[in-house]
Amino acid sequence: MDRTEYAILTVIALATVGIGVFTTTEPLGTFLVESAREALSTTAAMAWVTWWALVVGFAIAGGVEAWTSGEEVSELLEGHGPREIGYGSLFGFVSSSCSYSAIATAKNLFKKGGSAAATLGAFMFASTNLVIEIGAVIWILLGWQFLVADILGGFMLIGLMAFGFVYLVPDEVVEQARQNVKDEGSETVRDPVCGMEVDPDETEYSVEHDGRTFYFCSTSCKESFDPEKANTTVREQATSLSGWKALADKQWKEWGMLWDEIAIGFVFAGLIAGFIPESVWTSVFSGPTFGVPVYVFWTAVLGAVIGVATFVCSVGNVPFGAVLFSNGLPFGSVLSYIYADLIVPPIMDAYREYYGTKFAAILSGMIFVAAVLTGVVVHFVFLGAGLIPSPESVQIVEVSIEADYKPALNVFATGLFGVLYWLHRSESVGDEGRGGHGEAANVGG
């Protein structure tokens, strides 16, 4: 996130406190002290209950990305049938990216010939909202019903996006967007050693091996690469120190992209829980005055608008979503909020730069509409099945150390985090053969 985004978030945070100050019925001093205490408590509680899931989730995602190859992915995404949509969803799931990385990777796949439905619909959404770590946090904070709904709704949203690209968006508009991307410059590929995105036209470091070209970000990565080990099996990599070094590098890259958004999500959840009086929520979510369908629809629209306005993406959305659900935002509308992370203002601006203003507007509008419709449909499906959980079930609790599974898992996660950080920082491990997980062209390139 850049300075402008941080500045906007600061304004939103101050506005949150201001709403509380002007709507509370308590003495101002008491309100500020109690609200600050609750905000800190909520933030710490959410970090406590999700820490182990985040560490394990990033580690699993790092292993999937480091130990499996996505070579020639774009060729598998050239159509818009069930097979290509399935591949796009699968590659998105295993790529495990933050929203900004996901849109850049989807752009490269689209540029190389992947269909809009498979790349900008299936891959881009799945790599942000159907990945391991977000599923784990949803399960812990919101419950298994939300996790199932997120997955089912995710596939519905992907289907809606695919339908829109195939039947509603003219082919000439899609191809003009592809041409705009091609005019932008060359696509990037991933350094097979460290995972950094590299522009093949700018880097000075490359290796030819067996008819394939490998590109690197630096001399050290080039010298560390061992092409003879580029096709080692998952089992071989999982039982080698170099394979775990590769996993550590990948998962640390994910932490580097997402730590601030995760932290902001926890902080905003704390601020909202602490400083917005219950009377405000009661007035906003006053119930289905004009009937349940109308109420769910307009709150789904509101949820998507909140998702756009908060600037927070991917895993960072979930803690805030938990607060919204606990304060009255309907089940399906929370999903609409979470799904809107691909149309926050900086991302929509990136769409404009990549594809042009017209296609960016179409893409953003399609995501918004699909997020709202999916939230509404999933809400009534789960309502009919009696699977909507009570808002009281949400994990927004006071911090307490209890003799249950959380302390044990958090101790394990902290140890795992430390070991992986050491592997990531260690140069000696790389001497064993950091190139054991290399690839010439993978999901990111």
pLDDT tens string, the chain, 445 residues long: the values are 678 878 888 888 899 899 989 988 889 999 999 999 988 888 887 788 778 877 887 787 677 666 765 455 667 888 888 999 999 998 888 776 667 778 877 887 888 888 999 999 999 999 888 988 888 889 988 999 999 999 999 999 999 999 999 999 999 999 999 999 887 655 566 676 655 667 777 788 888 877 778 888 777 777 777 666 555 666 777 777 878 888 888 788 778 766 877 788 788 878 887 888 877 877 777 677 667 899 999 999 999 998 888 766 677 788 888 888 988 889 999 999 999 989 988 788 889 888 999 999 999 999 999 999 999 999 999 999 999 998 887 766 544 555 566 688 888 989 999 999 898 888 655 444 444 444 333 444 4
Measured between alpha carbons, how far is 346 from 104 in angstroms, rounded to an integer?
13
Indicate the DSSP class of residue 205.
E
Residue 299 confidence (pLDDT):
93
- Residue 338 sits at the vertex; the CA angle it makes with 301 and 144, to the nearest 5 degrees, is 120
Contact 425, 234 (CB under 8 A): no
Handedness of CA 113, 115, 116, 122 (dihedral sign): negative
DSSP alpha helix (H) spans, 206-344: 219-224, 234-238, 241-275, 278-284, 292-309, 317-326, 331-339
Residue at 84: amino acid letter = E
Q: What is the DSSP letter of 208?
A: E
DSSP class per residue in 272-306: HHHHS-HHHHHHHS---TT-HHHHHHHHHHHHHHH
Question: What number of helices (H) and strands (E) belong to the chain?
Answer: 20, 4
What tokens does 282 get?
Answer: 């009661």
Distance CA 402, CA 399 (A): 9
Q: How many CB atoms lie within 10 A of CB 159?
A: 17
Those residues with Cβ within 8 angstroms of residue 78's Cβ, 6 or more apart along the chain or in another chain: 84, 113, 114, 115, 118
Query: From the CB of residue 386, how many other CB atoms can be counted at a distance below 10 Å?
Result: 6
Q: Which helix or strand (DSSP H or E) is residue 21 part of?
A: helix 3-23
- From residue 283, alpha-carbon distances to 163, 276, 328 in Å are 37, 12, 10
Burial of 291 (0-12, 13-18, 19+ CB in 10 A): exposed
Q: For residue 175, give every residue at least 6 positions away whose Cβ sits within 8 Å of its Cβ, in sequence order, or none.
A: none
Closest CA to 140 of 433, 410, 432, 430: 410
Q: Which pLDDT does position 434 carry in this prediction?
A: 41
Please count the other Cβ atoms lying within 10 Å of the Cβ belonging to residue 427: 10
Q: What is the pLDDT of residue 435?
A: 41
Rounded CA-CA distance 180/277 in Å is 48
DSSP 386: T
Q: What is the CA radius of gyration of the chain?
A: 22
Task: Provide φ and ψ at 160, rounded to 5°.
Answer: -65, -40
Residues in CB range of 250: below 8 A, 6 or more apart: 61, 62, 63, 65, 66, 195
pTM above threshold 0.75: no
